[in-house]
Amino acid sequence: MAQKQSNLWLWLVVGMGVFVFFILCLAALAMMFAEDGSSHVSLSSNQVASLEITGTITDSKAFVDELNDYGKRSGVKAVLIRIDSPGGGVAASQEIYEAIKKFRKETKKKVVVSMASTAASGGYYIACGADKIFANPGTVTGSIGVIAQWYDYSDLLHWAKMQSVVIKSGELKDSGSGSRPVTEEERVYFQTLIDDMYSQFVIAVADGRNMPEEEVRKLADGRVYTGLQAKEHNLIDELGTFQDAVGEAARLGGIEGEPKLLTPLKKRFSTLEMLLGNAEAILPLGSVNGSESHIRFEYLWR
């Protein structure tokens, strides 16, 4: 009799466990379905979708994915991008800039930029892809230029009686190495790269701001401008707050009345992912990168 009761309790426990697991799986599937974008569907057709670019710009994927998602939603009439960044990587800044231009062309939706405390260098590059740029009078912006820098620690190696051993396939393969002073040939080589990237920046600003390249070059010596100065030089369109930019985005999007400001959802890991052992969902693990170049070209205000 006792054995039968023990078996009964065991089966009850197992059954409850299976039932709870089934419920968790259903909840997880619902969350995953929501992350695919279905949960974003709204009855409101007066939406201004917002995106943020903050800190140093190192990657474009998350921003571009969210921007493309907004392009698919009929309720979203315009996009507002809030920028608070000193700039960052050349390629990442260019990818976001190009994504904004492509978004405008393909969706016909308007894009407005609102500059916060800082929107300089790569941050300003990105802003030039929008239909309209707002800044506060005290916003730090501009810094149109490119920088590459590294440390020369050859004297430190000499002091420590250490020598750098390099075997290379070409004369310029280890250009920018901090283990020795830069050569004159390398200076010319790097200056050529910098000048080419600088020209790309100037062309992007001239195109985005509808200004002659010669006029942009006069302003593009690396200096920063306040929002007030930027307005005087046609680097921005309007002086105004975040709320002013929201209102203008709504107007450009043809929204009548109070717009609904739509903010992006943060990445969520589903219960199913955690149950099935997705370590990234549980632990704050960073991505594993391969060898990284010792030199980095940046659109960055320092």
Active-site residue (options: 61, 72, 173, 218): 173
The helix (run of H) or strand (run of E) holding residue 98 is helix 90-107
174, with CB counted inside 10 A (0-12, 13-18, 19+), is: middle
Biggest CA pair distance of the chain: 96
What span, in angstroms and rounded, lies between the C-alpha atoms of 130 and 111? 5
CB crowding 272-291: b at 16 or more within 10 Å, else e? bbeeeeeeebeeeeeeeeee
For the beta carbon of residue 261, count every other beta carbon within 10 angstroms: 15
For the question of residue 121 being annotated catalytic, the response is: yes
Count how many Cα atoms sit within 13 Å of the Cα of residue 224 in the half-sphere of its side chain: 21
266 in active site: no
Q: Which of 60, 114, 121, 175 is catalytic?
A: 121
Calpha distance 226→301 (Å, rounded) = 13
Catalytically annotated residues: 121, 173
